[in-house]
């Protein structure tokens, strides 16, 4: 097993990736958006960025039950 040393650019790379996901939420899964929000909520550069990530996380979590219910309804209609 090889242990790779952590790069000092790791946090900056993850934050950049998270920002890219958030910038294009329409093309990413809720899971990926949730992960990006968690990264930005913890490692965002400004308090505003961290707060916005937390708000988006609330929105994504709030719509989840509706989407699940819609799938269940579609399954019943197909029977």
Q: Where are the domains positioned within the chain?
A: 11-78
> Using CA atoms, how far apart are residues 25 and 21, in angstroms rounded to an integer?
6
Q: Give me the mean pLDDT over the 56-75 stretch.
A: 77
How sure is the predictor about 11, in pLDDT bands with cuts at 50, 70 and 90?
A: confident
Cβ atoms < 10 Å from Cβ of 44 = 19
For the whole model, what pTM was predicted? 0.71
How sure is the predictor about 69, in pLDDT bands with cuts at 50, 70 and 90?
A: low
What DSSP line would sit under 6-44, residue for residue? PPTTHHHHHHHHHHHHHHTGGGS-HHHHHHHHHHHHHH-
- Name the token pair of 34: 């949730």
Residue partners of 36: CB distance under 8 A and separation at least 6: 17, 18, 19, 21, 22, 28, 53
């Amino acid at each position: 097993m090889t242990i790779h040393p952590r790069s000092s650019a790791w946090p900056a790379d993850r934050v950049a990736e998270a920002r890219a996901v958030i910038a294009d939420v329409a093309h990413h899964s809720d899971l990926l958006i949730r992960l990006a929000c968690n990264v930005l909520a913890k490692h965002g550069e400004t308090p505003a960025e961290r707060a916005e990530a937390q708000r988006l996380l609330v929105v994504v979590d709030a719509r989840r039950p509706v989407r699940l219910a819609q799938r269940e309804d579609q399954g019943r209609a197909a029977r």
